């Protein structure tokens, strides 16, 4: 049996009306409740089990799914000892179809930590709806996914459209690298059956004007670099010029990884060749997005708005949109995301500090092996320490990226049809710079499955940062598009 699109028999208008009404009346209020929950991922809340916030998020989603009354729905919260829980649901096929065709929905309910810099009236656990956007942590990344998945299925059923069996796996460890997920996949994959299509609603969008399909995801090494030169702090007047600065030595070590002038990550262990098809997709995405590739970010000043003073302000590493697409999807990038050993400026005395500890985030091209890169990063940083300082690098997580399999003709047609029906424009394709470890795991479990990785994290939605928001109108359309693609699986 071969999957075939059947969009000609599916009218998007009643689907959109039902999905829009459900979002307004039921889903948005539930997401408001969800935003209030500080359900931080285990890496950011070591006492997550005792604090109960992840369990509260799971209960909220489970109760909503159960209340929908979907015929034949099997629903459970699965808990393996010592691991974060997952929600698993199973909805039988309709319209005479059998279980030989299965769609797997994926999402997660755990969240990133608070982050500073929220605008007045906004906060990570303080939901606010402004200009059609729901602000707060986790609504777009990725709490909406389970609601959107059920809404899409229910809309098809309400219109009497045949659809395949639909199963869902909603985890609570994604923001910590999904380290609990392999055990659940081993347990649940046999119950999922023959999966033809994976729908992961945890990705980005280049704009809010069409359906965006994620073609690749970068890998990631997170870890901590410590550079120590003293056992305790000493007077900078006494030690300055004698004792090397631990911060200077740390920067010297980071220069082994990326060029401090350009940001280019140089070692071969952290790079790969870019496939020709991804280069062409980058050109196509750049033609659509243009200057929005760099204007979408909240620059500290009116960057380049005034040509006479442009050089005085921060600006992107390049303004070539093709290079920017490739930089954020197929090239490595190093960021320092945290630090210890640096007192607040208000209480910083004239003391030469004994150590500097930096939290490092190294994004990897999709084809670079994460664990191998983590070991290469350790060797690069620890070898021949400058000034004979005590240097240690310990990685917290290492995830390999993902490169999507070729899109089958039936899915390409379904994606374009769905985007045209919802937006009046064809689907667009682009890699994403983030990491979803689940996709690589799924590729191993279901190597023949097609993948639809999409999401609502469009320009300025700022996942993980302050002022994160979910664009409600766009989320509704993505839900409708998802329904149309599901209806095309035969």
Higher pLDDT, 475 or 440: 475
List, for residues 219-261, the tens digit of each pLDDT value.
999 999 999 999 999 999 999 999 999 999 999 999 999 999 9
What percentage of the chain carries pLDDT values higher than 90?
89
Average pLDDT, the chain: 94
CATH fold, domain 219-270+330-399, is Alpha-Beta Plaits (3.30.70)
Determine contact, residues 365/271, Cβ cutoff 8 Å: yes
Residue ranges covered by each domain of the chain: 7-217+401-487, 219-270+330-399, 273-329
Question: For residue 145, is it left (φ>0), alpha (ψ between -120 and 50) or beta?
Answer: alpha
- pLDDT, average across residues 86-112: 94
- pLDDT, average across residues 310-315: 64
The CATH label, of 3.40.630.10, 3.40.50.1980, 3.40.50.2300, 3.40.50.720, for the domain at 7-217+401-487 is 3.40.630.10
What's the pLDDT at 100? 84
Please give the Cα distance from 214 to 180 (Å, whole number). Answer: 24
What's the pLDDT at 336? 97
**Helices 276-289 and 321-329, packing angle to 10 deg:** 130
Q: For residue 305, is pLDDT > 80?
A: no
Q: For residue 441, is pLDDT > 90?
A: no
Q: For residue 72, is pLDDT > 80?
A: yes
Residues 6+ apart with CB under 8 A from 432: 203, 204, 214, 216, 217, 218, 328, 329, 453
- pLDDT, average across residues 314-322: 91
Choice among 1-10, 276-285, 331-340, 371-380 with the minimum mean pLDDT? 1-10
Q: For residue 6, is pLDDT > 70?
A: no
What's the pLDDT at 262? 93
Q: For residue 71, is pLDDT > 80?
A: yes
Chain-centre distance for alpha carbon 412: 23
Q: For residue 2, is pLDDT > 50?
A: no
Q: For residue 300, is pLDDT > 90?
A: no
What's the pLDDT at 304? 54
Q: For residue 321, is pLDDT > 70?
A: yes
What's the pLDDT at 306? 58
What's the pLDDT at 1? 42
Query: Which long-range contacts does 123-131 make (Cβ < 8 Å, 24+ apart)?
Result: 124/38, 124/468, 125/35, 125/36, 125/37, 125/38, 126/35, 126/36, 127/31, 127/32, 127/35, 127/36, 129/28, 129/32, 129/472
List, for residues 332-356, the tens digit of each pLDDT value.
999 999 999 999 999 999 999 999 9
Please give the Cα distance from 110 to 128 (Å, whole number). Answer: 20
219-270+330-399 matches 7-217+401-487 in CATH topology: no
Q: What is the pTM of this model?
A: 0.89
- pLDDT, average across residues 175-197: 94
């Amino acid at each position: 049996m071969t999957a075939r699109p059947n969009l000609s028999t599916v009218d998007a208008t009643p689907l959109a009306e039902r999905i829009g009404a459900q979002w307004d009346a039921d889903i948005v209020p539930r997401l408001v409740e969800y935003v209030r929950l500080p359900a931080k991922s285990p890496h950011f809340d070591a006492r997550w089990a005792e604090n109960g916030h992840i369990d509260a998020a799971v209960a909220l989603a489970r109760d909503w799914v159960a209340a929908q009354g979907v015929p034949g729905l099997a629903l459970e919260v699965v808990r393996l000892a010592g691991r974060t829980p997952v929600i698993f649901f199973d909805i039988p096929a309709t319209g005479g179809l059998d279980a030989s065709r299965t769609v797997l929905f994926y999402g997660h309910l755990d969240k990133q930590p608070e982050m500073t810099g929220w605008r007045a009236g906004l906060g990570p656990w303080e939901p606010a709806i402004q200009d059609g956007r729901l602000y707060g942590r986790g609504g777009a990344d990725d709490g909406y996914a389970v609601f959107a998945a059920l809404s899409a299925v229910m809309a098809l059923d309400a219109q009497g459209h045949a659809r395949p069996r639909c199963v869902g796996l909603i985890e609570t460890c994604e923001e910590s690298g999904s380290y609990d997920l392999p055990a659940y996949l081993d347990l649940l994959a046999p119950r999922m059956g023959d999966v033809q299509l994976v729908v992961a609603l945890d990705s980005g969008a280049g704009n809010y004007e069409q359906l965006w399909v994620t073609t690749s995801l970068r890998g990631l090494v997170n870890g901590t670099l410590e550079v120590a030169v003293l056992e305790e702090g000493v007077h900078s007047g006494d030690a300055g010029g004698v004792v090397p600065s631990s911060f200077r030595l740390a920067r010297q070590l980071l220069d082994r990884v990326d060029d401090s002038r350009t940001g280019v990550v140089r070692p071969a262990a952290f790079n790969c060749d870019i496939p020709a098809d991804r280069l062409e997709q980058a050109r196509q995405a750049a033609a659509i997005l243009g200057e929005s590739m760099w204007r979408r970010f909240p620059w500290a000043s009116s960057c380049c708005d005034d040509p006479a003073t442009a050089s005085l302000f921060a600006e992107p590493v390049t303004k070539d949109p093709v290079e920017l697409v490739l930089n954020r999807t197929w090239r490595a990038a190093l960021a320092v995301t945290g630090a210890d050993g640096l007192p607040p400026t208000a209480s910083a005395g004239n003391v030469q500090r004994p150590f500097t500890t930096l939290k490092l985030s190294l994004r990897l091209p999709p084809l670079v092996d994460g664990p191998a890169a983590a070991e290469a990063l350790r060797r690069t940083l620890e070898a021949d320490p400058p000034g004979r300082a005590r240097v240690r690098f310990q990685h917290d997580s290492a995830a390999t990226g993902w490169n999507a399999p070729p899109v089958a003709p039936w899915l390409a047609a379904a994606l374009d049809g769905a985007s045209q029906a919802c937006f009046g424009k064809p689907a667009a394709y682009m890699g994403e710079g983030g990491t979803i470890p689940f996709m690589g795991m799924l590729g191993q479990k279901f190597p023949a499955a097609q993948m639809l990785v999409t999401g609502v994290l469009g320009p300025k939605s700022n996942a993980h940062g302050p002022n994160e928001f979910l664009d409600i109108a766009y989320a509704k359309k993505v839900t409708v598009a998802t329904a149309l693609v599901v209806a095309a699986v035969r």
